[in-house]
Amino acid sequence: MLEKVTELLDEKKLGELHRMFHDMMPADIAELLGEFEGDRLTVLFRILPKEIAADTFVLMDQDKMEELLRAFSDRELTALIEDMYLDDAVDVIEEMPANVAERILARASQETRHEINALLKYPHDSAGSILTTEYIRLYPDMTVSDAFDVIRRNGIDKETVYTCYVTDRKRKLVGVVSVRTMLLSPTDAVIGDVMEENVISVNTLDDKEFVANQLQKYDFLALPVVDSENRMIGIVTIDDAVDVIVDEYSEDLEIMAAITPTDRPYLKQSVFSIWKSRIPWLLLLMISATFTGMIISSFEEALAAQVALTAFIPMLMDTGGNSGSQSSVTVIRGISLDEIEFRDTFLVMWKELRISVLCGISLAAATFIKIQLVDNLIMKNEVSLTVSAVVCLTLLFTVVCAKLIGCVMPLLAKKLGFDPAVMASPFITTIVDAVSLLLYFFFAKAMLGL
């Protein structure tokens, strides 16, 4: 495909390219255009069929958008911005450098500019930031056939026509009616009679993740967004909700791997900006890990007296870390799926306690057998029974502590208003490392008399 486009472009067969684009989906064209730059990119964009140009534009990568916007004439800018859905226009403007954003706004019609500015005022994570004001609004005293007239007149510009919102003359939301219901009703039925009066709506300031979850929970195609006085402001559509869910997922993953989250694709980020998103956490965790080192230092004599003890340190630390991160991720997932709440803390702890005892005993037993068979019989390391007992006891208690810490920390973070994802593997591991060593040296001192 890419080769064909390059060839046609080289031969200046623009008419053929135009016809080719005509049969393609915006998402595919956006992907294809991402392979071009400079004048060739601008030329290709200009021959896109008018009806899909704006749709294609909003699906392109940020740097390609910027390149195109800088190349466009004022007239082209106006045409583009007026063809976009408002929520897409807001997204584009938010991602552009200030001078480009200002130029776009300056070229938009007064009405569009006014609406974009209103949307730009909502906080970054709110329902307001992802809503669109392009929806179908009906009045309760219309008939179904009136409603279809409204859809026919305005539908072309609306992001969805399938769910229509019924308001009174003061824009207060009083009901919702689907095109499906209207199609299945007689044409002279009154909207007020066929509409659903129990409307699930969200507030402009609600968290956008909450909005996405609501859309998913109720299997809706769109959700109305109202202000504090129940006045209809706009709608959030399912496709935006899916994007929120996917973004949230990818943000969670990054936080869980101790990376400052970003929206930009990996291959588009500079080495320096990736370094910036990773180094603070590495430093912080490294500093925490030196405390673990200090614990070892303070037991240097014990270790020197019983050198065999050192060899088990990595296994104890790793197993503790893995046990803890299993619990923390399980709880983080449960919180984000709304399955676990803070009031379940003791329930979760009691469950993890039992699981950790089971896991701890299994692992300790396996280690005991492994020491006797591998270390003593095969490797002839002669690990004494007491040292084996110290290792196995430490393992059991480490697993129990690790799992309890792992399950409590995310719940605590949530309660304190932090993102529970912060309490994933890296932090839990750092804490558990120290705990496992303290336990190890405690048992070693007690049982080996060091």
Nearer Cβ to a second copy (109/290): 290
By CB under 8 A, the residues from 238 to 257 that bind a second copy are: 238-239, 241-243, 245-246, 249-250, 252-254, 256-257
Site string for a second copy, 373-392 (x = CB under 8 A): -x------x-----------
By CB under 8 A, the residues from 202 to 241 that bind a second copy are: 216-219, 221, 238-239, 241
Report the alpha-carbon distance of residue 141 to residue 151 in Å, rounded: 16
Residue 362 contacts a second copy per CB under 8 A: yes
Nearer Cβ to a second copy (133/398): 398
Nearer Cβ to a second copy (204/425): 425
Nearer Cβ to a second copy (107/429): 429
Nearer Cβ to a second copy (81/256): 256
Which element (helix H / strand E) includes 237? strand 232-237
Check: CB of residue 53 under 8 Å from CB of residue 86. no
Nearer Cβ to a second copy (27/106): 27
- Tell me if residue 226 falls in helix, strand or coil: strand
**Count, residues near a second copy per rule CB under 8 A:** 112
By CB under 8 A, the residues from 255 to 284 that bind a second copy are: 256-259, 265-267, 271-272, 274-275, 278-279, 281-283
Burial classification of residue 140, based on how many CB atoms lie within 10 Å of its CB (0-12 exposed, 13-18 middle, 19 or more buried): middle
Site string for a second copy, 330-359 (x = CB under 8 A): xxxxx--x-xx---x--xx--x--xx--xx
By CB under 8 A, the residues from 50 to 109 that bind a second copy are: none
Structure tokens belonging to residue 63: 């740097």
Residue 175 contacts a second copy per CB under 8 A: no
- Tell me if residue 196 falls in helix, strand or coil: strand
Minimum Å gap between C-beta 111 and a second copy is 23
Residue 423 contacts a second copy per CB under 8 A: no
Residue 337 has φ and ψ, to the nearest 5°, of: -90, 10
DSSP string, 254-295: HHHTT----SS-GGGS-HHHHHHHHHHHHHHHHHHHHHHHHH
By CB under 8 A, the residues from 7 to 46 that bind a second copy are: 23-25, 27
Nearer Cβ to a second copy (246/377): 246
Residue 325 contacts a second copy per CB under 8 A: yes
Q: Which of 303, 349, 412, 450 binds a second copy (CB under 8 A)?
A: 303
DSSP string, 72-111: S-HHHHHHHHHHS-HHHHHHHHHHS-HHHHHHHHHHS-HH
Residue 129 contacts a second copy per CB under 8 A: no
Categorise residue 219: left if φ over 0, alpha if ψ from -120 to 50, beta otherwise: left
Check: CB of residue 277 under 8 Å from CB of residue 262. yes
Q: Note the residue count of the chain.
A: 450
Nearer Cβ to a second copy (139/148): 148
Structure tokens belonging to residue 397: 């208690």
Instruction: Identify the DSSP state of 225.
Output: E
Q: Which of 54, 69, 317, 393 binds a second copy (CB under 8 A)?
A: 317
Q: Which of 109, 297, 372, 384 binds a second copy (CB under 8 A)?
A: 297
Nearer Cβ to a second copy (105/296): 296
Minimum Å gap between C-beta 11 and a second copy is 24
Nearer Cβ to a second copy (107/367): 367
Minimum Å gap between C-beta 395 and a second copy is 8
| Residue whose entry in the numeric block shows the structure tokens 């390219």 | 17
Report the alpha-carbon distance of residue 343 to residue 347 in Å, rounded: 8
Site string for a second copy, 135-174 (x = CB under 8 A): -------------x--xx--xx----xx------------
Which element (helix H / strand E) includes 174? strand 173-178
Site string for a second copy, 180-199 (x = CB under 8 A): x--xx-------------x-
Minimum Å gap between C-beta 129 and a second copy is 19
* Torsion angle of the four alpha carbons 300, 302, 306, 310, in this order, in degrees rounded to the nearest 10: -50
Q: % helix / strand / coil in the chain, to the nearest 5?
A: 70, 10, 25
Which residues, 6+ apart, have CB-to-CB distance to 57 below 8 Å?
30, 45, 65, 68, 80, 84, 92
Report the alpha-carbon distance of residue 437 to residue 317 in Å, rounded: 8
Minimum Å gap between C-beta 275 and a second copy is 4
Minimum Å gap between C-beta 114 and a second copy is 26
Nearer Cβ to a second copy (119/340): 340
